[in-house]
Amino acid sequence: MTRTSRGVGAAGRVVIASSAAVAVAGALLAAHAFPQARAQSVAPVPAQAPTLRVCGDPDNLPYSNERLEGFENRIAAVVADELGATPVYAWWPHQRGLVRNTIDAGTCDVIFGVPEGLDFVLWTEPYYRSSYVMAYRNDRGYDFRSLDAPELRQLRIGVHVNTPPEESLARRRLLDNVATYSLFFDPRGDRDRPLKLLDDLVAGTVDVAVAWGPLAGYAATRLNAPLELVPLADEPGVPLAFDISMGVEKGNEALKARLEAAIDRRQAEILTILEEYGVPLAPAGPGSGAATRDAPAAPLPAPAPPPAPAAPATPAATPAEPTAAADALPPSEPASSVPAKLNPFTGDADMAAEGRALYFQVGCQGCHGGGGGGGMATSVIDDAWTFGSTDEVLYRLIKGDVPDQTMPTVYSVLTDDEVWKILAFIRSVYAGDPERIDW
Amino acid sequence: MKRSIYAVVALVLALPLAIAANDDLQSRQTDDNQWVLPSKNYAATRFSSLDQITADNVTNLTQVWSFSTGALRGHEGQPLVVDSTMYVHSAYPNHVYAIDLAEEGWPIKWRYTPVQDDRAVPVACCDLVHRGVNYVEGRILMTTLDGHVLALDADTGEELWKVRNADPLRGETMTMAGLVVKDRYIVGVSGGEFGIRGWVAAYAVETGEQLWKAYSMGPDEDVLLAPDFNEANPHYGRFGAGTETWPGDRWENGGGATWGWYAYDPELDLVYYSTGNPGTWNPTPREGDNKWSMTIFARDPDTGEAKWAYQMTPWDAWDYDGINEHVLLDLTIDGREVKALVHFDRNGFAYVLDRTDGTLLSAEKFVEATNWAERIDLESGRPVEVPEKRTRQGVNTLDICPAAMGAKNQQPVSYSPRTGLIYAGTNNLCMNYEGFEVRYIAGAPYVGANVRIFAGPGGYQGEFMAWDPEAAEKVWGITEPFPVWTGTLVTAGDVAFYGTMDRWFKAVDARSGDILWQSRLPSGSIGNPMTFTAPDGKQYVAIYSGIGGWFGLPVAADLSREDPLGALGAVGAAYESGLDRVTSVGGTLHVFALED
């Protein structure tokens, strides 16, 4: 499952359904403070002529530049043509403050290259989908198909800092081999451009680069770098492929509809441009497509109801019709509306004792306190429950399956039997209002 | 369009500014109008020669300026003052503000908040504190809770680079200030309660490139031992000890976090820091010395190689997390001039070592109640333990002093060359401790002990004391109802400063120990007092308020009173002493000056 990081919007970061700082579509994600060094310039608008006011990045190939050499510039021209308009650019770097300083300031109407999840704007349906890729020199004799290739442990891997694949590498404990690069650069030239990663790959400074597909594809195709690109598939909790849309001001449904009509009619030309720039296209993902993309907080796949233990560990445990309860629970219903007693061990002192031992063994005590009273995490003995109190909610929290949960999502390794025992212990030390017991 | 990829990049390649010996920082650290290093100077004395404020006039001290940091968790550490700018930091989310002291009213020049992965929050063991930023050559360097190291333009707040040092998904976080030495920023890691394997690493100030990384335990090539490592004291242990003193591969989750204060001797060219508790807190499954946890290290900042290492608490069974600061002093011990290192450890002993080679010169109890060991044997360097106080799995060992929070926690001491005394905030806490079996799950707590913490003999929980490091004895002390969790400051006006959890900021006669002045703060203080001269020529003294840290966490996080074992034992100790009745949360920098 994916998980959206809390507080990210407030920090001005573009996040795509992942709590890792996600960086896609080049530099359109603003993890870093950016000097407002590039003065905004609005091209003069010819009187009377219909225009499409584009919020363009003045200096960010392969996406866009002031000389209109980027593929997004080319696509903007096609779309404007379909609308019978002339593209007129307001230039602003696609970094922090982009929406605030362009669309919100009224200087332009559409941003090309918006990744799903940039919820400051209204998205059109996507006009392409790409993914992160693993890239290596095609003359090294490598044949890696995924980040799980054991050889990667001995190689130097380059990645842009705060991008989803950095997370993928961390999960594989590969960070010791990793060289990080910045996606952000300063036009005054005192920082490296994103393409530095690919340049270092060609030069052999790093052996493998994990980069956003359009960037790597541009290096391989337009800059003739001798590279092999391996697209990466989404991983649990780490999306690596993203839909790319155009973004307009929230509420501007009319422009959104016109742009979508233009995308539909000129999709073939758009794909030709993308091909020309070497953009690796990814197959449509599960959340892909206009139907599900209007809601800014991408709806999660309906959670499966937590399985009840297959068989109680001891004869003493009497399941309270766990199977029936689970069946009765509509997966998409908010859990709190359907109190359900799923745990067959609730009230069983032996199981609670085993659960207490587990509570200590696997580290619950480290945050929730030796007696359940809390610490870095909340108390589990009072009647204040952040996400709800039912068996289903607590089961899913432990399994790391609740959106926005603060608890580390590392306990999916516990068996169902262990989870239910731990919950039996927690229920046994409850000291809150008895009338609020719904388990 | 057939441009070479090289051409594209070559256009924008940075011109590296050479920071060779970093003479700038070396000279600034001796200018007491400024406060450019976290610990004031490389010797970490927290002594200032400013003397407008004296024992005679300190009663005229009054708060002249204050500033909310915008965060409400524990505020450890201290601001910096560089030329006419003050750099203020906060608890998580680690805001940074540049304050213009040259302009009337001290307005904000810029502010910065790092973007962070909030999954770091639940894996920070003991509140979301931060211990301050560093300055070098127009740059501000800092760490973030989510494990990044980054550099800002000191004039604009613009982020210059940001690299990952630690991974919160493996329980690794960062709260420390670190230290800039020459052209590199040396930092460590927190996470001793999560089964990490601790390390220190050096990052190029210019680019963020990692220059070296030295683990606290493991194979010698990971620990980076110099060829002459511990040559002067081979009985401390030498090669191979980083794995051989552990059962099997337990060193892989061996702890040894490195989140304390660092010091540097430019003449010897050695960086000093120490490592924390071994993981887990349950000693039974890791029988052995567990080197190099609980160890004072001296490393070459250029290569990272360890020149010497001295382990204070072998086979820790009490969580005496040894990360406390080191003060580099030239002392006379037994009639001999010594380049000394003084370290007040969590385990209750004040150590004096020869900092050239690590030779142990003295180790005395600085909190009387200390009862886990009778003494430290100076020949072997090892503690002479009290067997009944050694904890074991499945046994609740009672009345051990000090508690896991230490006879002194991270709050750094100060030293006045005028009085020859060290000024320390200490804890009078004892505990019951029971280890239990624990399973390692990456990114999950790996604690393995229940700790019940309570006030030591006398019923008070803390003390502000003056200590003679040459005689190795306490000179005077002021008992406090709560642990003294602030650092201390001492000045050439012969005034020492400290703060309390019950919201007092106090000035003490550095010679007599008389309390001369005190002022109430809005929240309890766990910060470090500092002093500087503003462009108006006046001396100022500053300290953060904002309760938190391990002891203050029950109040900072509004924890339930019902579980005395909560917050790894802090709930019992904090509520027993009524901390929640004297303070609520806060996050403010307070600046004091003499009334005109």
pLDDT at A116 over 60: yes
Cβ–Cβ below 8 Å for A408 and B123? yes
Nearest to B588 by CA among B530, B539, B547, B557: B547
- Among the partner-chain residues A224, A361, A374, the one whose CB lies closest to the CB of B560 is A374
Q: Angle of helix A416-428 relative to helix A391-398, nearest 10 degrees? A: 120
User: Per DSSP, what are the bridge partners of residue B497?
Assistant: B489, B507
Rounded mean pLDDT, A80-107: 87
What is the interface size between A and B, counted as CB pairs within 8 Å?
Answer: 213
Instruction: Among A16-30, A139-153, A403-417, name the one with the lowest average pLDDT.
Output: A16-30
Nearest to A87 by CA among A241, A232, A225, A262: A262
Q: How far is CA B34 from CA A44, B84, B505, B541, in A?
A: 51, 8, 22, 12
| A131 and A229 Cβ atoms separated by less than 8 Å | no
Cβ–Cβ below 8 Å for B161 and A166? no
The shortest C-alpha distance from A292 to chain B (Å) reads: 26
Query: Tokens standing for B37?
Result: 């290093």
Say which of B193, B316, B354, B364 is annotated catalytic: B193
Q: Give B568's contacts in chain A (Cβ within 8 Å).
A: 366, 375
State the pLDDT at residue A48: 57
Nearest to B107 by CA among B116, B98, B115: B98
DSSP assigned state of B4: -
Which position has the token pair 């580099």?
B328
Nearest to B560 by CA among A268, A429, A244: A429
* SS3 assignment, position B553: helix
Q: What is the DSSP string of A148-180?
A: T-GGGGGS-EEEETTSHHHHHHHHTT-GGGEEE
How many Å from the N-terminal Cα to the C-terminal Cα in chain A? 25
State the pLDDT at residue B208: 95
B277 is a catalytic site residue: yes
Q: How far is CA A360 from CA A186, A350, A354, A415, B127, in A?
A: 50, 16, 10, 16, 21
Residues in Cβ contact with A195 at an 8 Å cutoff, skipping those fewer than 6 apart: A61, A215, A218, A219, B5, B8, B9
The shortest C-alpha distance from A16 to chain B (Å) reads: 13
Give the model's confidence band at A340: pLDDT under 50 very low, under 70 low, under 90 confident, else very high.
low
pLDDT tens digits, A315-332: 333 333 333 333 333 334
- Measured CA to CA, the distance from residue B305 to residue B215 in angstroms comes to 11
Q: Give B159's contacts in chain A (Cβ within 8 Å).
A: 32-34, 184
Backbone conformation region of residue B372, classed left if phi is above 0, alpha if psi is from -120 to 50, else beta = alpha
- Measured CA to CA, the distance from residue A95 to residue A25 in angstroms comes to 11
Q: Give B123's contacts in chain A (Cβ within 8 Å).
A: 376, 408
* SS3 assignment, position B461: coil
Cβ–Cβ below 8 Å for A411 and B446? no
B220 is a catalytic site residue: no
Which residue is closest to B127 within chain A, CA to CA? A376
Residues in Cβ contact with A103 at an 8 Å cutoff, skipping those fewer than 6 apart: A55, A109, A111, A120, A121, A247, A248, A249
User: Per DSSP, what are the bridge partners of residue B561?
Assistant: none
- Among the partner-chain residues B11, B213, B567, the one whose CB lies closest to the CB of A369 is B567
Which residue is closest to B161 within chain A, CA to CA? A182
pLDDT at A119 over 90: no
- Measured CA to CA, the distance from residue A395 to residue A343 in angstroms comes to 9
The residue that leads in pLDDT, A433 or A1, is: A433
Rg from Cα positions in chain A: 25
Which residue is closest to A383 within chain B, CA to CA? B560
Which residue is closest to A356 within chain B, CA to CA? B436
Q: What pairing do the DSSP bridges indicate for beta strands B349-354 and B336-344? A: antiparallel
The shortest C-alpha distance from A301 to chain B (Å) reads: 22
- Measured CA to CA, the distance from residue A265 to residue B290 in angstroms comes to 69
Rounded mean pLDDT, A73-102: 89
The residue that leads in pLDDT, B67 or A11, is: B67
State the pLDDT at residue A239: 86
Query: In this structure, how many other beta carbons lie within 10 angstroms of the beta carbon of residue B484?
Result: 29
Rg from Cα positions in chain B: 22
pLDDT tens digits, A33-83: 233 333 344 444 444 568 999 999 988 889 999 999 999 999 999 999 999
Which residue is closest to B567 within chain A, CA to CA? A375
Say which of B33, B277, B347, B450 is annotated catalytic: B277
State the pLDDT at residue B16: 37
Say which of B319, B364, B434, B494 is annotated catalytic: B319
B230 is a catalytic site residue: no
A172-176, A388-392, B30-34: range with highest mean pLDDT: B30-34
* SS3 assignment, position A134: strand
Cβ–Cβ below 8 Å for B444 and A411? yes
Query: Tokens standing for B133?
Result: 């930023």
Query: Tokens standing for A396?
Result: 């899913």
User: Per DSSP, what are the bridge partners of residue B532?
Assistant: B540
Q: Give B127's contacts in chain A (Cβ within 8 Å).
A: 376
Q: How far is CA B576 from the centre of its chain?
A: 26
Low-confidence residues of chain B, pLDDT below 50?
1-21
- Measured CA to CA, the distance from residue A436 to residue B326 in angstroms comes to 53
Q: Give A10's contacts in chain B (Cβ within 8 Å).
A: none
pLDDT tens digits, B51-99: 999 999 999 999 999 999 999 999 999 999 999 999 999 999 999 999 9
Q: Give A381's contacts in chain B (Cβ within 8 Å).
A: 560, 562-563
Cβ–Cβ below 8 Å for A373 and B563? yes
Residues in Cβ contact with A382 at an 8 Å cutoff, skipping those fewer than 6 apart: A431, A432, B560, B562
pLDDT at A114 over 50: yes
Kindly report the backbone phi and psi dihedral angles of residue B200, in degrees, each rounded to the nearest multiple of 5, phi listed first. -120, 155
Give the model's confidence band at A191: pLDDT under 50 very low, under 70 low, under 90 confident, else very high.
low
Query: Tokens standing for A312?
Result: 């109680």
State the pLDDT at residue B436: 93
pLDDT at A26 over 80: no
Q: Give A167's contacts in chain B (Cβ within 8 Å).
A: 169
- Identify the residue among A362, A367, A412 best suited for mutation to test binding to B, counting B beta carbons within 10 A and taking the highest: A367
State the pLDDT at residue B126: 85
Query: In this structure, how many other beta carbons lie within 10 angstroms of the beta carbon of residue B248?
Result: 9
The model's pTM is 0.70
Kindly report the backbone phi and psi dihedral angles of residue B504, in degrees, each rounded to the nearest multiple of 5, phi listed first. -105, 145
